[in-house]
Structure 1
Amino acid sequence: MQTAFCTIFGEVLFDNFPDGSRILGGAPFNVAWHLQALGRPALFISRVGEDDAGREILSAMQSAGMTRSAMQIDADHPSGSVAISITDGQPSYRILDQQAYDYIDAEAFHHLRKQGLLYHGSLALRNSVSRQACLDLQQTWSGPVFLDVNLRAPWWQTNQVLEWVAGADWLKLNDEELELLLPGEQSISNKMHLLQQTYHLSGVVLTRGSQGAMALDSEGELFDIAPDRNIEIVDTVGAGDAFAAVLLVGIAENWPMPVILKRAQDFASALVGQRGATVADPAFYQRFIDAWQ
């Protein structure tokens, strides 16, 4: 079996819209998809139901060339789902409970090579079963752990998220999540330094939407990047996941922090010009593969 560029642990789900349409997503899945398309195949660890949605997910992975060797099938719980409702043009999201990705089984991947870069989010750790599976994986892992914070009400508690930060080497979050975890009058940079020093992090990356991103490297040096003012925005769904995927590439390939930030911002800026969190057209990714050679 081909050695994975990195290992991704977490949810895959469908966003279900009122008109009956649905879009495949979930932050870890989106990250794994981008890595595959960028020529850095990831081993994606997740769980789907024994249902039509689960079969559709596995089929999409096969079509994209993603390995399915760490995917689990659950006969008792449905494939992940988010119900989206639209009120006065504004979407609201209801992340359904007791989904297949809440029951990722640690026993199923005890044979994996536990080395390299390990990515996980926070949503898939809401249930004790998947949470324990992720913790078990980390305890025997050789290599850096990357935590991508995705705070989705009501599925998180501050003390629990900070425990996961303590188990990570790299932390990515957005400015709203930073404020939720560390409320108060301190500056953004002070809060980032506080997280890095308290939890002995190799790096902290903060995405700020239209304002770009900031990052601390292992020396505690602060860098920032602003997006091009002329980017075309179709939708911003999955922009943070696109950013995270390039962060993983940069960390694994030892790019300097300013290079990581610039390339991650460029990739995320291109993605928001597309509809949805992932892109099916290989040409979209090829220009970045070529530029990064």
Structure 2
Amino acid sequence: MTGLSMPLRPVVFGEVLYDMFPDGTEVLGGAPFNVAWHLQGLGLAPLFVSRVGHDRLGDRILHAMDEWGMDTSAVFQDPDHPTGQVRVSLENGQPDFDIVPDVAYDHVMPGMVKNLYDHRAYGPLYHGSLIGRMPDSAQTLSLLRQSAPSIFMDINLRAPWWNKAQLDELLQGINWIKMNDNELATLSGCQIDNNESVEQTTRGMLENYAWQAAIVTRGSEGAMLLTPEQTRLIAPVEVGRLVDTVGAGDGFSAVWLAGLLRDWSDEVKLQRAVEFASAICSLRGATNQDVEFYRHYRYLWTL
């Protein structure tokens, strides 16, 4: 939408959790939650749909969302399952991630959202692949996908919580998809080692699934956007001070959604998404509580 009209509110469905480190550090995250956080910071007022436990961590999540001004009306509390956790351990100096199963976000029930899209203020649906790992939330995801006017799927393959048959079903009927080159290689079974192989493999999938656009992020190689009409390649934006790359892809997705809602051209969406993802790499962690960080982009992009 343009002019003075208000954009539709994006709906973000998926996991919210805490990364639990051996030293006792607890870090709030989950890719869909990170996307919703950025969208809120950018002034897009997302509706985040998930579930947390009736426990200490669940209360902390709701408090953090309140403090950030996020709508908590679709984050349901579960008296029977705990808030999501990822247990991080170190083995030979390398981190190992155990995504705890059967947690609150695995049990978002279809009845909780069955009339959500009757409210015309809601627009594109964002989701990943982890939220469909267990039957309750998988059924809810299916219901939301049937109701949403458009769908942006961000592939986040987390072993052992996916299989090719289920993923193939999710890849159908969506409008936009984002994945990194490693995920592209896993999905396609092809070797991905240069831009030519990325383009060739992705274009085959684009035509097979009839997506409007496919985005492949390539880290230090930048990102590639493919539509039925063209291919665009953009180099990464130089990071002044690289802190870590955690959550850069989630920042990219948030800005792509913002561009969809504001009718930016594909070229502008791609450029701004890469720029924002690079800025995230200069911060510690996946999200940022600095209002000025987001205000800069809201002003720059007239959000």
| Range into which the TM-score falls when normalised by the shorter chain | over 0.9
1:122 and 2:126 matched: no
Matched position secondary structure for 1:8:
strand
The equivalent of 1:179 in structure 2 is 185
Distance of aligned partners of 1:89 and 1:231 in 2 relative to their CA distance in 1, 3 Å threshold: farther
What value does the CA root-mean-square deviation take over the aligned residues?
1.5
1:239 and 2:248 matched: yes
1:230 Cα deviation from its structure 2 partner: 4.8
> Given residue 74 of structure 1, which amino acid in structure 2 is its aligned partner?
D
Structure 2: unaligned runs, 5 residues or longer? 1-5
> Given residue 280 of structure 2, which amino acid in structure 1 is its aligned partner?
L
1:54 and 2:74 matched: no
1:87 and 2:97 matched: no
1:136 Cα deviation from its structure 2 partner: 1.1
1:281 Cα deviation from its structure 2 partner: 0.4
Q: Distance in 2 between matches of 1:84 and 1:61?
A: 24
1:163 Cα deviation from its structure 2 partner: 1.0
Distance of aligned partners of 1:3 and 1:290 in 2 relative to their CA distance in 1, 3 Å threshold: closer
Select 1:134's aligned residue among 141, 149, 152.
Answer: 141
* TM, length-normalised to structure 1: 0.95
1:11 Cα deviation from its structure 2 partner: 0.3
Q: Distance in 2 between matches of 1:273 and 1:8?
A: 25
Q: Distance in 1 between matches of 2:58 and 2:45?
A: 21
The equivalent of 2:294 in structure 1 is 285
1:3 Cα deviation from its structure 2 partner: 8.1
Q: Distance in 2 between matches of 1:235 and 1:51?
A: 30
1:220 Cα deviation from its structure 2 partner: 3.1
Select 1:201's aligned residue among 186, 207, 211.
Answer: 211
The equivalent of 2:257 in structure 1 is 248
- CA deviations 1:156-195 (Å, max 9, x no partner) are 1122112101031111111000000001257110111111
Matched position secondary structure for 1:41:
coil
The equivalent of 1:160 in structure 2 is 166
Structure 1: unaligned runs, 5 residues or longer? none
Q: Distance in 2 between matches of 1:120 and 1:88?
A: 33
- CA deviations 1:52-97 (Å, max 9, x no partner) are 0000000000000000111111111100000001234321111011
Task: Tell me, yes or no, if the aligned pair for 1:193 and 1:220 is still in contact at 8 Å.
Answer: no
1:38 Cα deviation from its structure 2 partner: 0.4
1:146 and 2:152 matched: yes
Select 2:11's aligned residue among 7, 13, 33.
Answer: 7
| Percent identity over paired residues | 45
Of stretches 227-236 and 279-288 in structure 1, the one that deviates more from structure 2 is 227-236
> Given residue 28 of structure 1, which amino acid in structure 2 is its aligned partner?
P
Task: Tell me, yes or no, if the aligned pair for 2:239 and 2:282 is still in contact at 8 Å.
Answer: no
> Given residue 136 of structure 1, which amino acid in structure 2 is its aligned partner?
L
Q: How many residues align?
A: 290
> Given residue 265 of structure 2, which amino acid in structure 1 is its aligned partner?
P
Q: Distance in 2 between matches of 1:230 and 1:242?
A: 14
Matched position secondary structure for 2:116:
coil
Select 2:237's aligned residue among 212, 228, 244.
Answer: 228
Task: Tell me, yes or no, if the aligned pair for 1:4 and 1:43 is still in contact at 8 Å.
Answer: no
- CA deviations 1:19-70 (Å, max 9, x no partner) are 0011000000000000000011100000000100000000000000000111
Select 1:106's aligned residue among 103, 110, 114.
Answer: 110
